[in-house]
Chains A and B, each alone.
Chain A
Amino acid sequence: MTNKKPIELKDVTLESGVKIKPVYGPDDIKAIDSDADIGKPGEYPFTRGIHPFMYRQRPWTMRQYSGFGTAKETNERFKWLLEHGQTALNVAFDLPTQLGLDSDDPFAEEEVGRVGMAIDTLKDLEEAFEGIPIDRISTSLTINPVASVLLAMYLAVAEKQGIPMDKVRGTTQNDILKEYIGRGTWIFPVQPSIRLIGDMTEFCAQKVPRFNPFSVCGYHIRESGATPVQEMAYAFEIAIAYIEEILGRGLKIDDFAGRIAFNFDIHGNLWEQVAKFRAGRRLWAKIIKERFGAENPRSMVLRMIAGGGGGGLTVQQPENNIVRGAYYALISALSGTQTMALCSYDEAYTIPSKKAALISLRTMQILADEMGLTDTVDPLGGSYYIEWLTSELERRIVETMQQVEDFGGMVKAVETGYIQREVSHQAYIREKKIQSGEIVKVGVNKYVMDEEMGEVEFHPFNPEVVGRQKKSIAEIKASRDGSEVDAALSALKKAAQTDENVMPHLLRAVKAYATLGEITSVFKDVFGEFKEPVGL
C-alpha cells in the first residue's frame, strides 16, 4: 500500500463570518422543523416565498433605475422603457432635488440634472409623467429626506390626470435612517425626519392605500461595506424604528405593515445571498407576528426589491459586469424576490447608458423566459446546505439586531454614529481583503489585464439644464398666486411646529407651485439640520 497524502482543503468563510464545511447532510438540519421553520410558500413563516405559486403565477417585476437631466428627457426614457416591456418605473432625481435645494441655489449649480432629473416645482413632475397613465404603472421614487414633498407632488399629478388617490400605486424610498448610514442625502435631524415618515405612513394608510410610503434599504448599507448579516439586521432595526413611530400614533400594526417594502443588495457569494433572503423572510414574519402582534398574514411578509449591486461591479474589464449582472439576477430569482433591478455594466462609472440598461432588462427577461426560473417555487428549498445556512444566518441576524437594541435602538445608534462606524470599519476590512486577494474580484486582483480603462459610453451631462430650470423657476414664481403660496407655506409651518400631519398642507403648497426649496426651508426653520457624527 502506498502512503496516501491527506487531502488539504482550503478554509471557506463567508463574508458574514460563517465557516463552511465541504459537505452538508441530514445531520446538519436535524434541528430544523420542516413544518414550523420551512413551511409552505405563501404561508407563515414564509421561508420559501411570500406567495403560494410565486413566479409560476407571476414573474418578478422588472424595474430599472432611470431619470435624466430634465423632466422631458426622463419622460422620453420612461416611455421607451415601457415600450420595451419594463413593467414599472424607478425614478432617479438629481442631488439638489434629493437634498431639497432648488436648481437656482448656488450650492446646487454643479449638480443640477447630473445624476437624475431636477424637480423644482410640480410642473417638472407633471412633465415627467405626461402621457403616462399613473394608475396603470407602479412607480418608485428614489427620494428620502423630502419624500413627503415628492409624494404630495405625485398625488397632485395623479389628481390632474383625473386619478383618485386610492388608485395611485408606487413607493417612495423614504428610508432616512439608512441615509445617515450610507447614502448621505440627509437634511434634518433624526427625530423630525422619522416624524415625517410617520406622517406619510399615516396619511397613506387612510387615503392612499395602494402606496408603499417607505422602502427600507439594506441595499445601501451593504453597498457601504456592511456584511450580508449586518445588511439584514440593520434594515430590520430601521424598520422597527419606523414601526414604533407609527404605532405611537395609534395605528394598529395590521393597518400598515402590509405596505412595508424592503430593498436589498445582491453581490458576493451566491449561497450566502439566497440563505440571507430566506432567513430574512422567516425572521421578519416572526418579528411582525410575535413582537408586534400582527394577525393578518399579509402584514408578516417580507416584500422586497432585490438588485444586483453596483458594489459588486468593477471598473476593470467592464464587460465582465454583464456576466456578474446575470448571476445576480439568478440569485435574485432563486431567492424569491418580488421585484428585480440590476445595476448596468457601466454603473461602476456612471448612470446607465441606454444600451447598458437594455442589456440589464434583457438579462432578466432571458432568465424568466428561457431558463426555467419561473417553473417552481424556491427550488433550493430542502437542500441540506441551504437550509442549514438559512438557520445559521437567521441566528446571526438576531445576534446583530440584539447588539443594536443593547445600544439603545437604531435611532440612538445612528444619532451617535455607532452604526456608521461599524459599517465603515467593515468597508475597510473588506477593501483590505480585496487588496490582499483574500476576496477575489476577477479583473481586479486575479486575471488582471493591461487595459485602457474608461471606454464605457457615458451619459452626457447637459450643462444647459441648470439654465432651463432657473428660467422655469423664475417664470413660475412670476405667474403663480403668491398669496396662496405664502398662506400654504405658513399653514405648513404651523403644522410642522405641532403634531398635526403635514401631508394635507404639503399637497396645498405643491398645488400652489411652491418650490421644493421653499418647502424644505420651512422644515429647516422648524426642525433644524442634522449634525453628522464624523468619527471613524
Chain B
Amino acid sequence: MSAINNVIVKIGRSVGGVVGTLYQAGRDSVDTTIRNVIPFMAFISFIIGLILTTGVGDWIAQGLTGSASSLAGLLLISLVCAIPILSPLLGPGAVIAQIVGTLLGVEIGKGNIPPQYSLPALFAINPQVGCDFIPVGLALGEAEPETVEVGVPAVLFSRMVTGPLAVVIAYFASFGLYTK
C-alpha cells in the first residue's frame, strides 16, 4: 500500500513541479512584457507616428537613406558608432540602436532603402553594443580590477576594427537576401 502511495506522491510532485514551472515561466514572461517590452513599444509607436505624419520623415530619409543604402555609408555609420569616446555614450539600453533601427525600418518599408540592406544595417547601427556596460559585465564574470582596467580599452579598441568588419561580413552575407 505504501509503495502505491509513494508512486502517487511522486507523480503528483513531478506533475506539480512541471506545472508550477510553466506557470512561473508565464508569470515571468508577462512581467518582462509589461515592464520592458510594452513601454518601449509605446515610445517607438510615438516616434513612428511622428515620422510618418510630420516632415521629420523626409528630413531623416534624406540623411539616413543616402548613407544606409550603400556599403560605404554603412561603414561610415559603424565607424562613427565605434569611436571609443562615443561608443559608451551610445550604448545604454541600446536605445540609440533601437531608435535608429526603427527609423531605418520605416524607410525600408517605404521603399527608400533596398530590403537586402537590412542585414548589414543591423550591424552598422550596433558596433557600440555593450560598450557602456563593460565594467559591470566584467564584474559579473568576477574579473579582477586589473582585468577591468585593461579590458575596457581592449573592448573599445577592438570595436574600431570589428565594428566595420561586421558590416562587411554582413554585406557579403546579404547577397541573395530579398532579391529575385
Binding between chains A and B: no
Residue ranges of A at the interface with B (Cβ–Cβ < 8 Å)? none
